[in-house]
Every structure is written in C-alpha cells, then in structure tokens.
C-alpha cells in the first residue's frame, strides 16, 4: 500500500478540536506532538475558550497518512476529538498574478507566527441561493469582489496573519480560515471589518468559530489539569 499520498502542491491541514478527560495520558500527548515535529510536521497548539473544546491541534504536513497517524495517536492518548476539519493549502484562483514569494507563503506557511498568540478558526462557504449565487456570477465580477476583500484584509497586515485553506470536496465547507493575532480584539475587528465587503456581506456563509490562545503543549496541558482533574 502506498502511504505517501500527498497533494500535488502545498500541504494537508488537519484541525482537531479535543476535550480533556481524566484518562488523558499527558506524556503520550507530549510525545505525539514531539514526534510529529521530528517528522517535519508543523503543529500549532491552542487552548480553547468556551464549551465546544478544550484544546485545538492544527497539524500541517505533506503526507496525509502522517496526519492520520497523528490523529490516531491523539485519540490513543485519551484526548476526545469532538470536532475536526480537513483542508489543503492553496493559491486562490484570484491570486494568479501574485508574486511567487506570496504564492509559496500560502502553499507552505510557517506556523505559528511569532508574537501572535490570539487564535481563531472558522469554516466558510460561498452562497448558492437563488437570489445570491456566487457561482453564477461572471469571473470578472467575482474577481473584483475578491480583490476588494483582499484589500480589506491587507489593512491588518502585521497585526493579523490569515491562513485560508481550501476544503471544497474534502470537508463540509469550502474553506477553512485560521487567524493569528496579537490581541483578541484584532480577531474581532478583522472579521467585523471584512464582513462589510460585498463578497462576504452577500455571498458568505460561516460555520462555528473556535477561539483561544496559542501555546506550547506543556503549558496547554498544565492549564487543563488541576491535581489530575479537568478544571470544568
């Protein structure tokens, strides 16, 4: 069996949203993250706020079996995966004329960025309603709207890093959006501001939001355990 399945370009991106349980083997979780990093995978750890999850693990790598093995190891260590999202890094069809350096940054992002520990993930799709169908618009109109949307995002350059990955045909929505920011209000402001763009205001549907703080795995697990018991 060929275990080297990978995208023709770019990386696979797996988001795992986990609940901490008293049966979690913290040392095994740490070992799983360490071994993934040794394999050349990128792992972003985030402690999640709210009831939906306790911990998010964002894993990027070329070989999809490596991502699956990571998921299996997390499960074996006792973390309960309560939600997940799979996507692929990509260069948007509306960014064909972008500099090569920018294209490579989208296909092979280096994560997590320094000094941006406010973290958010959400999936989204473009609407296909009879009165607002993105996919029946002429390419020129879609391109103009996406360029407007891009200009709004670039106003946050240096404050917010946006990682937009494609998931059409591989998960429930069409894109996954992961945001890294210096402060939580930066996350709120960038999403609020960009929702006024026509591409978002008329044509975007959003899934659930997960928000938290980027951390190393030791610190994250330390905050989830209180004398061997979950905080909640």
8 A C-beta contact, residue 122 and residue 209: yes
Which pair of structure tokens corresponds to residue 58?
């964002």
- Tokens 């990509």 correspond to 90
Angle of the 64-76 helix axis to the 26-38 helix axis, nearest 10: 170
C-alpha 145: how far from chain center: 23
Q: Which of 20, 85, 94, 122 is catalytic?
A: 122
Question: What are the angstrom distances between the C-alpha of 159 and each of 46, 91, 146, 156, 183?
Answer: 18, 22, 21, 5, 8
| Catalytic residue check, 122 | yes
Q: Which residues are CB-contacts of 186 (< 8 A; sequence separation ≥ 6)?
A: 118, 156, 159, 160
CB 167 within 8 A of CB 86: yes
Say if residues 223 and 47 touch (Cβ distance below 8 Å).
yes
Residue 171 contacts by C-beta under 8 Å, 6 or more apart in sequence? 85, 86, 87, 123
- Catalytic residue positions, numbered: 122
């Amino acid at each position: 069996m060929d275990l080297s399945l990978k995208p023709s370009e770019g990386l696979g991106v797996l988001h795992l949203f986990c609940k901490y349980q008293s049966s979690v083997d913290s040392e095994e979780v740490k070992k799983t993250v360490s071994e993934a990093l040794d394999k050349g995978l990128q792992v972003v750890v985030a402690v999640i706020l709210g009831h939906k999850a306790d911990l998010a693990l964002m894993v990027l790598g070329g070989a999809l079996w490596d991502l699956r093995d990571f998921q299996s190891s997390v499960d074996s260590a006792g973390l309960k995966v309560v939600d997940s999202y799979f996507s692929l890094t990509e260069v948007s069809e509306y960014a064909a004329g972008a500099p090569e350096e920018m294209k490579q940054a989208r296909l092979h992002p280096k994560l997590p960025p320094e000094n941006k520990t406010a973290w958010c993930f959400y999936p989204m799709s473009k609407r296909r309603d009879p009165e607002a169908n993105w996919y029946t618009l002429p390419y020129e109109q879609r391109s103009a709207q996406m360029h407007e949307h891009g200009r709004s995002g670039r106003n946050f350059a240096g404050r917010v890093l946006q990682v937009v990955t494609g998931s059409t045909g591989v998960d429930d929505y069409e894109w996954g959006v992961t945001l890294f920011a210096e402060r939580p209000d930066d996350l709120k402001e960038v999403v609020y501001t960009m929702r006024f763009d026509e591409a978002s205001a008329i044509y975007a549907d959003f899934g659930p939001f997960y928000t938290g703080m980027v951390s190393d795995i030791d610190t994250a697990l330390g905050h989830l355990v209180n004398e061997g018991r979950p905080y909640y």
